[in-house]
Amino acid sequence: MPHSRSLERSFFARATLRVARELIGLHLVQQRGGLRQVARIVETEAYQGPQDLAAHSARGRTARTEIMFGPPGHAYVYLIYGFWHCLNVITAAEGKPHGVLIRAAEPIEGIANTTHGPGLLCRALDIDRSWTGLDICTPEATLRIENPTLHRPPKVARSTRIGVDYAGPWAQKLWRFYDSRSPYVSTVTAAQRRKALADMTIRNGK
């Protein structure tokens, strides 16, 4: 029996808030050559342009945002602060520029670096802007999202998005979803993370 199955395009071609919520607990998988890296998604943010002023697509259809208007199930990677890359997945119907930012994940397999933030996650998986446009729904995709057979149910909470104060009333939307049990959520403090990881190790008997 397979350990997981890749998500089909129909998963992403739905209401963006629903996709953002249901991604919590699923596995982000990258496989290149003999290297397989797996991380459990624990935090996401939904963006629903062009009305949503926090979305890049609020600026209209540009060379940068063209991918957001395309079919769902493709990757959109952008650079912030000139250093950090951020991975997004295009959602909703073609022509509707929506997407979900993968904000944080829990390392499961083949990952040595930290992943408790969007930039840290991309650095750990060596994801950069060259990945923009990648179809993550094809069987041969090097990057995809899978539903694990042994699914650990998350305790999903929601809040306002992070770092979008410039978006006015759109900054107050409760469009950030996260597993409140996970120490890998980006807003968990270093001290809280150390304690939670220690407790997790004890529970797992390691």
pTM of the full structure: 0.93
Contact of 174 with 21, CB cutoff 8 Å: no
Please tell me the distance from the alpha carbon of residue 6 to that of residue 21, in angstroms, as a whole number. Answer: 17
Distance CA 49, CA 167 (A): 12
Find out whether 132 and 22 touch, Cβ atoms under 8 Å: no
Identify which of 182, 184, 197, 181 has the alpha carbon closest to the alpha carbon of residue 121: 184
- Residue 4, pLDDT score: 65
Residue 195 confidence (pLDDT): 85
Per-residue pLDDT of the chain (206 residues; tens, 9 = 90+): 345 678 999 999 999 999 999 999 999 999 988 889 999 999 999 999 999 999 999 999 999 999 999 999 999 999 998 899 999 999 999 999 999 999 999 999 999 999 999 999 999 999 999 999 999 998 889 999 999 987 778 999 999 999 999 999 999 999 999 999 999 999 999 898 888 777 766 666 65
Indicate the Cα dihedral angle 192, 194, 195, 196, nearest 10°: 80
Classify domain 4-203 at the CATH topology level. 3-methyladenine DNA Glycosylase; Chain A (3.10.300)
pLDDT score, position 163: 95
Tell how many helices (H) and how many strands (E) occur in the chain: 4, 9
Alpha helices, DSSP H, located in the chain: 9-12, 16-22, 118-124, 190-203
Report whether 88 contacts 76 (CB < 8 A): yes
